[in-house]
Amino acid sequence: MIPSKVEVRARVALKVGKQSHVDAQIVSFTGFESHEEHVALIFKQADSAQDCPLVRIHSECLTGDVFHSSRCDCGEQLDEAIDAMAQSGGIILYLRQEGRGIGLYNKIDAYVLQSQGLNTFEANKKLGFEEDQREFQCAIDMLSALNVSKIDLMTNNPKKAAIFANSPITLNQIRQTHVHLKHDNESYLKAKTDSGHKMNW
DSSP, collapsed to helix, strand or coil, labels residue 55 as strand
Residue 59 contact among ligand GTP, Zn ion, none, beta carbon within 5 to 8 Å by kind: ligand GTP
Quick check: 38 binds ligand GTP (CB under 6 A)? no
Q: Quick check: is 134 catalytic?
A: yes
Of 23, 134, 175, 194, which residue is the catalytic one?
134
Residue 72 is a binding residue for ligand GTP (CB under 6 A): yes
The arrangement of strands across the sheet holding 90-95 comes to: 7-16, 22-30, 39-43, 90-95, 54-59, 150-154, 170-175
Piece of 21-29, 41-49, 91-99, 142-150 that binds ligand GTP (CB under 6 A): 91-99
Distances (CA, A) of 32 to 39, 84, 106: 11, 28, 23
78 to each of 7, 25, 47, 81, how far by Cα in Å?
Answer: 24, 16, 19, 5
Q: Residues with Cβ < 8 Å from 88, sequence gap 6 or more?
A: 44, 54
Give the integer Cα–Cα distance in Å for 93 and 38. 7
Interface pick for ligand GTP out of 100, 143, 146, 179 (rule CB under 6 A): 100
56 is annotated as an active-site residue: no
Residues that bind Zn ion (CB under 5 A): 61, 64, 72, 74
Among 50, 77, 138, 143, binds ligand GTP (CB under 6 A): 77
DSSP string of 94-142, one letter each residue: EE--GGGGT-HHHHHHHHHHHHTT--HHHHHHHTTS-S-----HHHHHH
Which of the following is catalytic: 132, 175, 184, 194? 132
Indicate which of ligand GTP, Zn ion, none lies near residue 44 (CB less than 5 to 8 Å, by partner kind). Answer: none
Q: Whose Cβ is closer to ligand GTP: residue 44's or residue 58's?
A: 58
Among 16, 107, 151, 171, binds ligand GTP (CB under 6 A): 107
Interface residues with ligand GTP (CB under 6 A) are 58-61, 72, 74, 77, 97-100, 102, 107, 110, 120, 124, 155-157, 160, 177, 192, 197
